[in-house]
Amino acid sequence: MHRTSFVRGGVAAGRTIVLHMATDAGEREARHNRRGGATLACAGLRRIFPLPMRQFIRTIVLATVGVVSLAACSHLHRQDSSAYSVTPAGSNAPTAARLAGDYGCTAQQVADNWQLARLELARPGTPICKVLGRYGDPVSVSKNSIANMQLVSMLHRQPNGRFYNATFVYYDDNKINRELNRPVGKWLVDRVTSTR
């Protein structure tokens, strides 16, 4: 059997009616206003969970939220970095001569490019073997594969602080690229840009 007794009621500022009731389970406070309707608050929870326990629960909840947030950020970062692998500047980026071997060019072509077309911006469609070596050795190399093509971007830094970024594209030999009249099966310049 539940015992309920009315403690007090009143109108606060003419808008909110406050009722306090004492029950076997503890005190309850009912509020009613024109905008929010009726709400019911239980003061008995303060008796069930003392202040140290409430602080402990709050700490656990905040820690859990923090761990979940960090896990989500880590997961998103891992997804982004796996799609686009980058060799950071200052690390052992491949030399132009080594890259030449990877893309079917010779060391002599790389040396000739440096001697005959040093720092000259290559036009789109220029074969990669006529560009490697023009800007020296790259400080970073980025690779990315998307639908029907592959991209390689090489960032070069000159002693005067000027940067050259050469992006090359390789169109896969397939029906879509052939229908679009793309030059398939060759590494070509997509664009070369430089800072001033």
The predicted-structure confidence for 58-100, as pLDDT tens digits, reads as follows 888 777 777 777 666 555 544 433 333 444 444 567 899 999 9
Q: Are residues 75 and 133 in the same domain?
A: no
Structural domain including 25 reads: 1-48
Decide: pTM greater than 0.75.
no
**What CA–CA distance (Å, rounded) separates 137 from 91?**
12
Q: With residue 188 as reference, give the H or E element that holds it.
A: strand 187-194
Q: Are residues 89 and 77 in the same domain?
A: no
pLDDT value at 41 more than 60: no
Q: How many residues does the chain have?
A: 196
Q: Are residues 5 and 93 in the same domain?
A: no
pLDDT value at 6 more than 50: no
Kindly state the tokens that stand for 147: 């639908």
Q: Are residues 91 and 172 in the same domain?
A: yes
Q: Residue 139 has what pLDDT?
A: 94
Q: Are residues 159 and 174 in the same domain?
A: yes
Q: Residue 110 has what pLDDT?
A: 95
**What CA–CA distance (Å, rounded) separates 41 from 39?**
7
